[in-house]
A and B are shown apart, each in its own frame.
Chain A
Amino acid sequence: MSMTISPHREDASQRGWQYRLHIDAPLLFILIAVSILGLIVLYSAGGGDIELVERQLIRLGIAYTCMLVVAQFPPRLLLRLTPWLFVTGILFLLAVLIGGEISGGAQRWLNLYVVRFQPSEMMKLAVPMMVAWYLADTRLPPNRWQLLASVTLIAVPMLMIAKQPDLGTALLIASSGIFVVFLAGLQWRLLAFFSALVAAAAPLIWHFMHDYQRQRVITLLNPESDPLGSGYHIIQSKIAIGSGGLFGKGWMNGTQSQLNFLPERSTDFIFAVLGEEFGFFGILLLFALYTIIVIRGIMISIQAQDTYTRLLAGSLAMTFCVYFIVNTGMVTGLLPVVGLPLPMISYGGTSIVTLMAGFGILMSIQTHRKLLAT
């Protein structure tokens, strides 16, 4: 790859509609495919409730619109907005901790009178943007002080969100920040040092966990210990997936899903419905689509033209990867139940809007590149 830094002044229209509309067609088509699969599974998970599907469709409409709007923002503008977004997010998080609305036992909502929204959602994008913004200005790889600064940028919002308490989102935010640092070339010995530090802090984390969070870890290790309480979810979802076999029981025919044995089957545990009704091959299809999304994101990162967009795109793609692996790991009983939805498939949540905004950033990075003469 040999490049001379002499950008052609060329009309974007000559590069086709994708660039004019700032849409990345491969990504868009795969996303639509996943959404359609999701709606099909959701219809069955909701017991054939068409209204549920309609409401989800409206939500998807909003999310896709949001993605297309974000894709219009040139990365330079995103770069300039980054620190403001981050600081605003931190202030909102503070406001939530001080006076947020409690909904479902957790304090996540901020009532802005016009909209109720979760600042933690905003931080899912603001944290990787901020770390990328910071590191893009330094000489890579980061030295230990730059590393410390990055860790602070990650840890502060993460701890604030974990305190709400919203462990799933805190985990996603932490990994999105860590991915930026890792992509920036974090040296292996520093990585080893920090891993050791986290391992040493594990008992401390256990100490600060809520009872229900501890229970989930205990349940993971031995689900049969509490078959009607918190172990019930995992036992039933394993039965659903396992009894699905290679080909599944057929759409709308899952006995676990249709006869109400499977809890939260439209939301966090929808993956078990897919596993029961469409079997291993159904799951393979979803995983293939997910993998293509991640690979496309990494390609966008590699093709990006400056450090900020490279770091950001790579982090967004890998965070999506973590997102679906954590949910599926939780439903199959490999990971504790942390309350993360299956991206693009689970019913509801403001998280879908954030997720799609993230894909909007990827599209923006891909379609605002300048043509380089080779």
Chain B
Amino acid sequence: MLGRIHLKDHLFESRLITNRAILLLVIGGLLLSVLLVRLLYLQVVSHEHYTTLSEDNRVNLQPLPPNRGLIFDRNGILLAENLPSYRLEITPEQVDNMAATLSALEDIIEIRDIDRSRFEKLLARKPRFEAVPLRFHLNDEEVARFSVNRHRFPGVDITAGLARHYPLGPLAVHALGYVGRIDEKALKVLDSSNYRGTSHVGKNGIEKTYEELLHGKVGLQQVETTAQGRIIRVLSRTPPVSGSNLYLTIDSHVQQAAEAAFGDFSGSAIAIDPNNGDILAFVSLPTYDPNPFVNGIDYDDYAALRNNDREPLFNRALRGQYPPGSTVKPFMGLAGLETGISSEHSKTYCPGFYMLPGKDRKYRDWKRTGHGTVDLNSAITQSCDVYFYDLAQSLGIDRIHDYLQHFGFGKATGIDIQGELSGLLPSKEWKRSRRNQPWFPGETIITGIGQGFFLVTPVQLAAATAALANGGQMLQPQIIHAEQEAESDELQPHHPQVLETITIGEQQHWDHVIESMIDVVHSARGTARSIGKDSPYMIAGKTGTAQVFGLKEEEKYDASAIAEKLRDHALFIAFAPVDDPKIAVAVIVENGGGGGSVAAPIARIIMDAYLGRSTP
């Protein structure tokens, strides 16, 4: 070989490859023979053994889904229940002509396209002896109509199951949430063994947060089946454990009154018991009925909700971020007093506008003629802007930020409903790190009246008001009052949780601010005097108006001239009775106009509903 020229010998190579290819084919044949021997062993020699094993496999485990826990309000009024629900099922093997049966059924029972397509999908997938659901939630009339015609439809049956139902419909839906069919996305997150047999899962609100408690534990039954899977008898049974019942802190009477008080306005109201953080009313309007969501809402209906300009699906109480407007003034006043920047007697002259030294820009007061000389009390009572422009300027943004954060502004309250937003309490540091911009002095001025970058959620504002009412206890807003395990009479209460105890420099400062808030409602010049006149109890409150769009310096706000969507938001915070606070409220009425005229009356109705009831 060595002496030969380095030339490819094509004939030699062709023979070499041919020989090798045939050799490989032989090896492949040998391997195939091994496989065939194996298959003969499995399918002929051990056939009987494996047949026995496959017969034994006819003992099947079947899941028994648990009943979902009920949800009540704090007084035991049912908010979410499981109603017997009738569904129409067809067993394919007993039906001769499916198309004819379906069209005949259509005459007596409404069958939507969505029902039909789901039915056809299941029909293709399930064995012929298993009943396939065609319609869910038949109403009584449909059940009656079908029962009369029952004889005409062999293989078609009505079976009863349990379905989630919300008896009060749209009431407090943003807190309660709803359940819906388990979709593929949810399936990935859920514990699949515990959800075998379960068709619905909490999608929103309490139903979602407390899914684990409400769901319960799946049961199992061992059944013997025929070779086709038909059940012959039940061998053993482990019953399911129902989910726990939940008692919400919400008082549905107060909730109802609050939702009604808004009339046609959009907005949000939160009422909190300042003694323990219990949320008494959780209002986000407009609201919507959760019941259609349980079994899959029609596409058109859903689109109508989603495309609605007033955004009923939007949870304003948790995710609506609004400028607090003048409702921030009591907190600002307290900041001034407690930091020693101002005193109860410091006075400011209000000519109707404020100017930074050496600057031209005028920061207007809402009252163009000015309030004259004001102290803290009259500045809160009459909601003088100039006083707080000046105070904010003296405090500086970082001191404002440091004091107000104790009241929970700028961070989520941590309420047990998912999706809460944190609002925004601006500071120099925030603007530098998030916007990469320096802080301008003018931005401090408008922060003093709750405008500019400052944003709060209704829940935040109510929690801060509750802290003002109870003397500095920042309580975790609670939505669950108690849990009750299945088949137990005992209620396990949820205990209040203190997030932070605000240090009180001097009690006198707090008293002074609260007295000023009383004057807002009960004095002759108070901005919310309209609700104070006939009140049987003492209310401390503060009105607010949040600008939706900025006015130029010299422009005059004219509510009738601008589109409703751009009209100011009306705000009101309050607590009552002042000497022993039982309820703190924050009300935000979107595009409502004035805080005193629109938001305060709503707050009064809420407080009346609660106090009229608990102190008869």
Contacts and interface: CB of A to CB of B under 8 A. Distances in A.
Given A185-B17, A245-B47, A325 B38 contact: no
Interface string B18-47: 101110110010011011101110111011
A242 B51 contact: yes
A261 B43 contact: no
B451 to A, nearest CB: 44
Nearest to A332: B38
A334 B54 contact: no
Contact of A332 (B39, B47, B58, B229): B39
B434 interface: no
Given A241-B42, A245-B47, A246-B43, A259 B17 contact: no
Given A255-B57, A255-B58, A314 B225 contact: no
Contact of B43 (A141, A244, A307): A244
A49 B24 contact: no
A246 B44 contact: yes
A334 B17 contact: no
Interface in B471-529: none
A280 interface: yes
Given A140-B13, A259-B225, A287 B32 contact: yes
B17 A307 contact: yes
Contacts of A284: 36
B28 A310 contact: no
B124 A239 contact: no
Interface stretch (A32-40, A156-164, A290-298): A290-298
B124 A51 contact: yes
Contacts of A256: 54, 57
Nearest to B4: A139
Contacts of B9: 139
Contact of B16 (A140, A255, A275, A329): A140
Nearest to A182: B20
A177 interface: no
Given A245-B51, A256-B54, A275 B21 contact: no
A335 to B, nearest CB: 10
B50 interface: yes
Question: Looking at B28, B31, B49, B58, which has the most chain A CB atoms within 10 Å of its CB?
Answer: B28
A30 interface: no
Given A49-B124, A311-B17, A242 B49 contact: yes
B13 A301 contact: no
Given A239-B54, A325-B32, A185 B20 contact: yes
Contacts of B7: 139
Interface residues of A, number: 51
Nearest to B38: A332
B235 interface: no
Contacts of B60: 259
Given A239-B50, A240-B54, A259-B229, A332 B127 contact: no
Nearest to A179: B24
Secondary structure at the A interface, as helix, strand, loop or mixed, is: helix
Given A239-B57, A280-B44, A141 B16 contact: yes
A182 B40 CA distance: 32
A307 to B, nearest CB: 5
A279 interface: yes
A242 B352 CA distance: 95
Nearest to B226: A255
Nearest to B18: A302
Contacts of A307: 8, 10, 13-14, 17
A243 interface: yes
Nearest to A299: B21
Interface in A242-284: 242-246, 255-256, 258-259, 261, 275, 279-280, 283-284
A298 B46 contact: no
B6 interface: yes
B160 interface: no
B50 A332 contact: no
Given A183-B21, A240-B54, A307-B13, A332 B42 contact: yes
Contact of A182 (B24, B31, B36, B39): B24
A258 B57 CA distance: 12
Interface in A26-74: 47-51
B227 interface: yes
B21 A139 contact: no
Interface in B56-90: 57-58, 60
A224 B291 CA distance: 50
A103 to B, nearest CB: 13
A332 B35 contact: yes
B47 A314 contact: no
B54 A255 contact: yes
Contacts of A51: 121, 124
A318 interface: yes
Nearest to A334: B38
B53 interface: yes
A188 to B, nearest CB: 11
Interface string B125-140: 1110000000000000
Contacts of B40: 280
A242 B43 CA distance: 4
A318 B20 contact: no
A39 to B, nearest CB: 15
Contacts of B49: 242
Interface string A315-334: 00010010001001100111
A369 interface: no
Given A332-B39, A334-B34, A183 B20 contact: yes
A139 B121 CA distance: 62
Nearest to B28: A321
B73 to A, nearest CB: 43
Given A318-B24, A325-B28, A301 B17 contact: yes
Nearest to B16: A185
A261 B53 CA distance: 12
Interface in A323-373: 325, 328-329, 332-334
Given A242-B42, A243-B53, A307-B14, 6 more contacts: A238-B50, A239-B50, A242-B51, A255-B54, A298-B21, A314-B17
Interface of A: 47-51, 139-141, 179, 182-185, 238-246, 255-256, 258-259, 261, 275, 279-280, 283-284, 287, 291, 294-295, 298, 301-302, 307, 310-311, 314, 318, 321, 325, 328-329, 332-334
11 contacts: A139-B6, A239-B50, A245-B47, A255-B54, A255-B227, A259-B57, A280-B44, A287-B32, A287-B35, A302-B18, A314-B21
